[in-house]
Structure formats: structure tokens, C-alpha cells
Structure 1
Amino acid sequence: MKILTGNDLKTGAVVWWDGTGWSLYVDQAVDVGDRADEIASREESSRRVNAPYVIEATRDDNGGVRPAHIKDRIRALGPTVRTDLTLKPADPEIGNWVI
């Protein structure tokens, strides 16, 4: 399965081609097959999406779409770390570190 992703030109949000437009939800992505380049070119020239590109994905038993590459799974699902464990600028342990 090949799906198309890019970034919304107005908001910068990661978006996925759903067959008629762009969705924030990877599960709404459709298989673009051989039409990926045609769709990407048309959508980029119409200024709806920035840097669209095709990726490999699979559909699970529940109909969910899973990008094949970890980079695109992170783009689809968000950060890989727990925000409650991230280093915060106000932490006294930081000392003179540059963040």
C-alpha cells in the first residue's frame, strides 16, 4: 500500500491524502497506487500542501493504517517520549546547559 503525506501549507500540520483532500488522521489515508506523483504535483501546485511524498504503509485487521518506516509512524502518531519525563528549562538540575 502506498499513501501520500505532507504538511498543511497554512498550519504546518502533518496531513495524509484521503482520496479527496487532506486529513490529520493517518487512518483516513487511502492507497494512491501509481497516482502518487500526479496527486502530489497537483496538490503542491495548488498550494494546499508542502512537500508531499509517497510512503509505504500497511492496513491492519481493524482497518488502521501503519506507515512502514519509523520516521513516518512518528509523524503520524506524535512524539516517542513521555512529556512528563522530558527535561524542562525550569529544572534546577540543568545548571548551565544550553538547550
Structure 2
Amino acid sequence: MKLLTGNDLPTGDVIWWTGSNWSRHVEEAADVGTEGEPLARAEEGARRVNGAYVIDATPTADGPRPAHIKDRIRALGPTVRPDLTLKPSDPAAGSWVI
């Protein structure tokens, strides 16, 4: 499984390609297969994402799990306190402001 990730231009938040748009939640990420690199170039060219790149991931019952520790840390959010991790079910997750 391959995922496309990058950073949101206005906020710098880590974002994941869902198949049709971007999300802050890795659980919503879609497998980009072999289309990841062209999609990354197109999305960066359209200025919808910064620093987009393709990563390896493993599908799980809770959604994709990035293969590399760096990307798992990016997916979980702040590393200071585990209770700060963004979850799609959190009503404040969509309006998170830094």
C-alpha cells in the first residue's frame, strides 16, 4: 500500500490524500498505488500541498499504518502528550489551530 502525504500550505499541518481531497487524519488516507508521484506533482503544482511524497503503509482495521517510524510520528500528531493526537471523531479536530 502506498500513501501520499505532505503539509497543508496555510497551516503547515500534516495532511494525507483521501482519493479526492486532503485530510489531517491518516485513517482517511487512500492507497495511491503507482499514481502517487504524478499526483504529488499535480497537487504541488496546483498549490494545494507542500512537500508531498509517497510512503509505504500497511492496511489495518483502524486504517493505514505508515511503515516508517518518521511517518507514524507525523500521522499521530504532537509527540509531547499522546492525548493531543488528532482523531476524526474529535469535534475539535477540524478546527485545530496552531
Give me the TM-score of the superposition, normalised by structure 2.
Answer: 0.78
Residue number in structure 2 paired with 1:74: 73
Residue number in structure 2 paired with 1:94: none
User: What does residue range 31-70 of structure 1 map to in structure 2 within 5 Å?
Assistant: 31-60=31-60, 62-70=61-69
| 1:80, distance to aligned residue in structure 2 (A) | 3.5
Where structure 2 has 5 or more consecutive residues not aligned to the other structure, the ranges are 83-98
Larger radius of gyration: 1
In the alignment of these two chains, the number of paired residues is: 82
Q: Could you list the runs of 4 or more consecutive aligned residues of structure 1 that deviate by over 3 angstroms after TM superposition?
A: 79-83
Q: Alignment RMSD, CA only?
A: 1.4
Where structure 1 has 5 or more consecutive residues not aligned to the other structure, the ranges are 84-99
Distance 1:54 1:73 in 2: 13
